[in-house]
C-alpha cells in the first residue's frame, strides 16, 4: 500500500509539476531565381516579385478558332551576372485558371496556358541600355515550366530556357539556359 501511494505521489508530481515546453516551428523560405547566360556567366536575382494578375485576350494562329481570355502573370526580377552586367529579367505567362499554374508554357499556346513574353534589360550602362526578347527563330526552344505549386503558401518552383535577341540588332543573341526558380511567391 505504501509503495502504491509513493508511486501515485511521484506520478502526480511528474505530470503536474513539470510544465510542457511549447515548440514553434517555422519554415523560412528563401526565394531563388537563377540561370546561365551564354554558357559563360551565371545570373542570380537579388529580388523577385510578381505584378498584379491581369486579363488578356489571345487570338490563335488558326483564325477559325475563337479568341481566349487568359489570366496574365508577370514575374519581375533584377540581379547581377558574374560577368558584371546588371540585368532585369521579366517573364509574362498566361493561364486560364490562375489557381492552377503547374505545367509547361511555350509561345505556342495550348488550350490552358502559354508563354506571352520574356525580356532581359541590360541596365549596366544607362547611356547604352539593351533590351532582349524572344527570338522569332529560336535556337533553344523557349520553355517555362512550373513543376511545383503550393497553393496554401502561394509558392511556385520550376525551370526555364530560351534564346533572346537584341531588339535593335537581331544578330545579337543571348542564350538563357539551366534556369531554375524555387519558392517564388506569386
Q: Average pLDDT in the 112-132 region?
A: 92
Nearest-angstrom CA–CA distance, 173 and 90: 17
Residue 158 has pLDDT above 60, yes or no: yes
Nearest-angstrom CA–CA distance, 173 and 166: 6
Residue 14 has pLDDT above 90, yes or no: no
**pLDDT tens-digit map of 38-50:** 888 999 999 999 9
Q: Average pLDDT in the 3-16 region?
A: 62
Nearest-angstrom CA–CA distance, 122 and 166: 10
Backbone φ and ψ for 4, nearest 5 degrees, come out as: -65, -40
**Residue 172 · residue 164 · CB < 8 Å:** no
27 CB-near residues (< 8 Å, 6+ apart):
none
CA 53 to chain centre: 14
**pLDDT tens-digit map of 46-85:** 999 999 999 999 987 777 878 999 999 999 999 999 999 9
CA dihedral 76, 80, 84, 90 (to 10 degrees): -10
Gyration radius of the chain's alpha carbons: 25
Q: Where are the domains of the chain?
A: 31-185
Residue 8 has pLDDT above 80, yes or no: no
Amino acid at each position: 500500500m505504501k509503495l502504491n501511494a509513493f508511486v501515485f505521489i511521484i506520478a502526480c508530481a511528474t505530470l503536474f509539476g513539470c510544465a510542457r515546453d511549447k515548440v514553434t516551428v517555422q519554415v523560412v523560405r528563401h526565394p531563388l531565381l537563377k540561370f546561365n547566360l551564354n554558357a559563360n556567366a551565371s545570373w542570380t536575382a537579388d529580388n523577385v516579385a510578381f505584378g498584379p494578375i491581369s486579363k488578356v485576350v489571345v487570338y490563335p494562329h488558326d483564325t477559325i478558332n475563337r479568341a481566349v481570355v487568359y489570366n496574365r502573370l508577370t514575374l519581375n526580377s533584377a540581379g547581377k551576372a558574374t560577368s558584371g552586367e546588371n540585368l532585369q529579367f521579366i517573364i509574362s505567362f498566361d493561364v486560364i485558371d490562375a489557381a492552377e499554374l503547374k505545367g509547361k508554357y511555350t509561345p505556342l499556346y495550348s488550350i490552358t496556358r502559354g508563354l506571352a513574353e520574356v525580356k532581359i534589360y541590360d541596365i549596366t550602362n544607362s547611356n547604352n541600355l539593351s533590351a532582349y526578347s524572344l527570338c522569332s527563330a529560336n535556337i533553344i526552344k523557349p520553355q517555362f515550366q512550373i513543376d511545383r505549386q503550393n497553393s496554401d503558401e502561394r509558392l511556385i518552383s520550376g525551370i526555364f530556357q530560351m534564346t533572346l535577341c537584341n531588339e535593335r540588332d537581331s544578330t545579337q543573341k543571348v542564350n538563357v539556359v539551366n534556369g531554375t526558380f524555387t519558392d517564388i511567391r506569386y
